[in-house]
Amino acid sequence: MIKQSELEHIIDSKADVLYPVYEGRDICGKLRDGLGYELKDEIDRKLGKITKVYTLGKLPFKSITFVGLGKEEDITVTGLQQAFGALVKSNKEKSITVHIRSARTEKFDEHALAALFAETQAIAGYEFTKIDAKAKAEVTYEVVGKEDITADIEKGVIMGEAVNHARTLGNMPSNYMTPLDLADYAKKLADECKLEADILTNKELEKIGAGGILGVNQGSALEARLIVLKYNGAGDEPYTALVGKGITFDSGGYNLKSAAGMIAMKSDMCGAANVLGAMEIIAKRKLKANVYAIIPSTENMISGEAYNCDDVLVSLSKKTVEITNTDAEGRLILMDGITYAQQLGAKRVIDIATLTGAVIMALGKSYTGTFANDETFFKDFEQAAMISNEKIWRLPLDNDYHEMLRSSSVADLVNSKAGGAGSSVAACFLEEFVDKGTQWIHLDIAGTSYDAKVNPLASEGATGAMAKTMAALFDK
């Protein structure tokens, strides 16, 4: 829990204190006087460095944990997140007071810092526990500030908790997070956030002709689902659709993955998870927007019923697709998701997916590969990414890649084509299902959706990548 403190000054706190500090900036005089000695040489002020000082009974609390912020002129959102994350991870107390004002600069006021700390304490404090493990005791953070920062704290908490919920979905073992489980979660989120929900079963998918989703689903013992959530916060304005890939486990189908390639394939539904995270932020913050969440979800498995290479699937759009790689399945469910979003009337579509290993080769784990068919829409999204401090890098769409995909002798398209530029080819495949006049962005989060290392801001596992940015697009 995090809240604004009623304390006028941290020296009156009964709980231990967290205190951010810049190089060259004085420590609070009342704090120095209370301790009775100069702290200047005791504290490592380099960014993210932690120094714990015990008060030895001279103040009502037993210790102060300082975190270095480096040089004031060099501080960034990333730097503050790293420092706040280090504070949260180093804290062992159940109740703590945060002196947020000491982190103020001309660029970051109390309101921005309070929101950022609230968001960061949720994300940095997140830990995916073992299944059925007892919940950890909650930590209470009281933030001391002179301004009224209650609304800022609430905003930060919503952001951080929504990202964490997306991370938990991505971290769940696939036998605990099937397409049916994902649909149940979406319905509960809809009830909590007062969203409209519609869940299409296989029977309904057959009725509308969603051959991409059903084709990938053929090898699974479990049915597919097409999850639709609707948020109406802007009257009669046009809708934007967020379309998330929901492959809850990807074996590769008959283009079977290697043993190493199977690891973490429970997280092949992070696109879906992060769309749900974005919808949670949008709804709980009551943003003025009209938004659909569209989530096609299935497993990609092997059985006697599974789809094969050389099969031809008829998409929801009625375009036909020859299967050249059963491990290029994400684009097959997304093509129907994109079409369904447009059938519902969405004029802007963002799809997000752990789509290609090629994007990792191109951009590594730091940048989300981004494709767009409209300059204005891309600029708006780029600004949202900057506000959310999430890195994107635009990659090309080109008719050469479209021509590669139109090489089938038995169908309109092939679903995969060797020859390099794998991320662009996959994006161009999806673009084939975007109607003229629809503004569209594709996010390939194969590199950014899952992290194998622990850092001051996060822990190993799903990251919730782009959930904040998708929500920030509507925060106007």
Hey, is 38 helix, strand or coil?
Answer: coil
> What's the mean pLDDT in 467-472?
98
How large is the average pLDDT for residues 95-122? 95
- Residue 135: which pLDDT band, with cuts at 50, 70 and 90? low
pLDDT at 157 over 70: yes
Between residues 131 and 81, the one the model is more confident about? 81
* Pairing between β-strand 225-232 and β-strand 196-200 as defined by DSSP bridges: antiparallel
pLDDT band for 26, please (50, 70, 90 cuts). confident
pLDDT band at 134 (very low <50, low <70, confident <90, very high): low
Domains of the chain, start order: 2-148 (3.40.220.10), 172-472 (3.40.630.10)
Nearest in space to 42 (alpha carbons), one of 61, 59, 62, 27: 27
**257 is an active site residue:** yes
Q: What is the mean pLDDT of residues 189-206?
A: 98
**pLDDT one-digit tens code per residue, 158-188:** 999 999 999 999 999 999 999 999 999 999 9
Is 430's pLDDT higher than 80? yes
Residue 164: name the closest of 136, 196, 197 by CA. Answer: 136
- Is residue 213 within a helix (H) or strand (E), and if so which, with residue range? helix 211-217
Using a pLDDT cut of 90, give the percent of the chain over it.
86
- What is the average per-residue pLDDT within 102-111? 95
Catalytic residue among 3, 187, 257, 319: 257
Binned at pLDDT 50, 70 and 90, residue 49 comes out as very high
Asked if the model's pLDDT at residue 393 lies above 70, the reply is yes
- In this prediction, residues 116-141 reach a mean pLDDT of 85
Which residue among 230, 266, 331, 348 is the active-site one? 331
Q: Is 2 helix (H, G, I), strand (E, B) or coil?
A: strand
Residue 311 DSSP one-character state: -
Counted residue by residue, the chain has a size of 476
Give the separation between CA 272 and CA 39, rounded to whole angstroms.
49
Given a cut of 90, whether residue 63 has pLDDT beyond it is yes
The number of beta carbons lying within 10 Å of the beta carbon of residue 64 is 24
Q: How many CB atoms lie within 10 A of CB 376?
A: 9
Average pLDDT over residues 221-237: 98
H or E segment and range at residue 384: helix 375-388
| Residue 94 counted as an annotated binding residue | no
Which amino acid appears at position 186 of this protein? Answer: A
pLDDT tens digits, residue range 289-348? 999 999 999 999 999 999 999 999 999 999 999 999 999 999 999 999 999 999 999 999
The mean pLDDT value of the chain amounts to: 95
- Beta-carbon contacts of 229 under 8 Å, excluding residues fewer than 6 positions away, are 186, 189, 190, 195, 196, 197, 276, 279, 292, 293
Residue 26 assigned to a binding site: no
Percent of the chain with pLDDT over 70: 99
Average pLDDT over residues 225-241: 98
> Mean of the pLDDT values across residues 402-423?
96
What pLDDT is recorded for position 35? 87
pLDDT at residue 24 is higher than 80: yes
331 classed as catalytic: yes
Asked if the model's pLDDT at residue 132 lies above 80, the reply is no
pLDDT level of residue 38 (50, 70, 90 thresholds): confident
| 268 belongs to an annotated ligand binding site | yes
**Mean pLDDT confidence for 141-146:** 91
